[in-house]
Amino acid sequence: MGFKYKLYLYIVKCFVSCEPVGNHIFFCFASKRNSLHDNGREHSIFIRDSKKPVIPCCCAYGAYQNEHCSTNDDDRKNCSSLFFPLHDMIIVPESMITPPSDQGVPFSLNLPAGQNSGNQNQETIVVPAQGGTSGSIPPEIPVSEPQAGSTAENMDSFTVPPISPQGGNPWPKRIIIVLVLLLFVGAAVLLGRIVFSQLTAPQEVTITYWGLWENDGIIKPIITEFEAKNPKIKVQYSKQSHRQYRERLQAAVERGDGPDIFRYHNTWVPMLKNQLAAVPETVMTASQFKNTYYPVATNDLVGGQTIYGMPLMVEGLGLYYNEDLFVAAEVTAPPTTWEELLALVPKIAKPEGTGFAVSAIALGTTGNIENYSDILATMFMQNGANLAIPKGKEAEEALAFYHKFANPTDPVYTWNETMDNSMYAFANGKVAMIFAPSWRAFDIIEMAKQVNPALKFKIAPIPQLPGNTVTWASYWVEGLSEKSTYKKQAAEFLKFLTSRESMIKLYAEESKVRLFGEPYARIDMATLLSTDPFVGPFITQAKDARSFPLASRTFDNGLNDRMMKYMENAVNAINTGSSPQQELDTVSNGFSQVLNSYGLVTSAPAATTQ
């Protein structure tokens, strides 16, 4: 039997157990609940249980209050849940209902075969009169003649037409109610979406960027362009002093009021391990980093698949040489090997008293040579020494070689502690060659304006030993704060800042206020500056660069400065008569203590040919 037919039969059964009130029938509820299922939807009606009292309830239409109606809210809710799935309320004229006084007469409902005398679409309800004449059918309800045998006992075999409401159409009121509800729900949903969108929409945030060397005017155009493309992110740049910068940076980050993005030295990763956040892959993956930057940056800033910083520059050591002094000594080109350099020393050096009127190169001491630790580290790695454990033949040879240039008994003696600072001596024309990073050119030019305006110099790659090309790297990078509240926004700025386009613009801004900008850190930008007379040598050397925490002028009061002190003591001791082997034993023990204090292993392999 179809679902609708079963539903009608349940309704008929419910008629039997209902109490009449006025001219309406109120369906009654008992403890027994029957459910019909139609394609997964449940329609529930309640059937009288003769063993339990009937609980009459008032229907949604009328809600009459009398002794037949329950005033219980739960009953009314249940009654409402009955009628709405049935779509229509059942309203039966009083003349169709068996009087309460005829309780002894069995109620028999004969159902027609669905015939219609006029309108084929008209739904009918046929209820036989009790006792032949006791009831009358209103003329507006068509009546079909009952067929023989059509009783309640075998009514499952008959087709039951739908029952439609009488006494007025309730749909207009229902439609109005539904429309009002829909409008209310729609307005609530719309309001909710507006409020939710306001709550979830990106809020404007301000991230802080700590720099060291660049003034606001250089960084501002980059920030302005970024903010135009990211209107919800503001960047506040703050140029910091280099004095105690590392300590102040760590303290600020740990307090929670530090920068979101900051500059730090490439050797500081072990010291900043608790303050540095990993660069997300949305900025760059480890494999992309390896293909974008020089190998030294990968070695310094990538651990496994984690990136801890991204450089804007590449920096190291270049060989600065005085063109006029070279011409005077009939030297036509800068040396490319250490053997060539040794051969030039007697040609250029001009001893005078206990010192030199002109020195060939500033090497051999510590106090008056800028970047002495960088130079020593480069020599050690070029000779194959393991700087983490600087002992053995390679390390001793490198230290002894450095000492030669300050040893009065050596043929290449050309420098001592009485000489001026190496930078000033070069600017003043008192030394023909020095090793220095690219940015030292600005200092030399400024000093030369005061003491030697006619100075002419060039920069070349540093000399090498045959078969093992190694150059030096000491540079600054941009990192993300682990404690930042706005890591995502800081990462977006880092990605923009280190892009190819931003580096080109940054170099252009730097070149407006000084002779040149920072050498590009990206491999894919090498050809843009490789022929530049100032930064070209540093670009061409970058592919062979190595680094180690013996970098000068980091001002970190930590890893680099502690390691440098051991090397400084060793050089000074050798210049006063100690042996390289004896001093390197002390250096090696000291290096191990410092490196271990920062969680660094002391078994790093020596530099080898790539």
Q: Among 21-30, 297-306, 570-579, which is the least confidently predicted range?
A: 21-30
Residue with tokens 């037949």: 68
Distance CA 26, CA 49 (A): 16
The pair of three-digit structure tokens given for residue 1, joined into one six-digit string: 């039997």
Q: Among 126-135, 200-209, 276-285, 592-601, which is the least confidently predicted range?
A: 126-135
Domain with CATH 3.40.190.10 in the chain: 205-313+475-529, 318-473+548-597
The pair of three-digit structure tokens given for residue 340, joined into one six-digit string: 């060539």
Q: What DSSP string runs through 252-276?
A: HHHHT-S-SEEEEEGGGTTTTTTTE
Long-range contacts of range 579-588, CB-CB < 8 Å, 24 or more positions apart? Answer: 580/395, 580/396, 580/399, 580/400, 580/403, 581/396, 583/399, 584/390, 584/391, 584/395, 584/396, 584/399, 585/391, 587/390, 588/389, 588/390, 588/391
What is the radius of gyration, based on Cα positions, of the chain? 48
**Predicted local distance difference test score (pLDDT) of residue 3:** 45
| Single pTM value for the model | 0.68
Q: Can you tell me the mean pLDDT for 545-573? A: 98
**Predicted local distance difference test score (pLDDT) of residue 168:** 57
| Residue 231 burial (10 A CB sphere; 0-12, 13-18, 19+) | exposed
| Banded model confidence at residue 603, pLDDT cuts 50, 70, 90 | low
| Banded model confidence at residue 204, pLDDT cuts 50, 70, 90 | very high
Domain 318-473+548-597, CATH number (from 3.40.1410.10, 3.40.190.10, 3.40.50.300, 1.10.510.10): 3.40.190.10
DSSP state letter for 313: -
**Predicted local distance difference test score (pLDDT) of residue 54:** 41
Distance CA 110, CA 314 (A): 101
Distance CA 445, CA 333 (A): 22
The yes-or-no verdict on residue 18 having pLDDT over 60 is no
pLDDT in tens, 339-357: 999 999 999 999 998 889 9
The yes-or-no verdict on residue 446 having pLDDT over 80 is yes
pLDDT in tens, 138-194: 444 344 444 444 444 444 444 444 444 445 566 676 777 877 778 878 777 777 777
pLDDT in tens, 363-403: 999 999 999 999 999 999 999 999 999 999 999 999 999 99
**Predicted local distance difference test score (pLDDT) of residue 191:** 76
Other residues' Cβ atoms within 10 Å of the Cβ of residue 11:
17
Q: Which CATH superfamily does the domain covering 205-313+475-529 fall into?
A: Periplasmic binding protein-like II (3.40.190.10)
Q: Which residues pair with 303 in a beta bridge?
A: 306
Please answer whether residues 392 and 416 qualify as being in contact, where contact means their C-beta atoms are separated by less than 8 angstroms: no
**Predicted local distance difference test score (pLDDT) of residue 200:** 60
Side chain identity at residue 201, one-letter code: A
Better pLDDT: 3 or 589: 589
Distance CA 375, CA 361 (A): 12
The yes-or-no verdict on residue 93 having pLDDT over 80 is no
Q: Among 116-130, 226-240, 305-319, which is the least confidently predicted range?
A: 116-130
Q: Which residues pair with 310 in a beta bridge?
A: 478
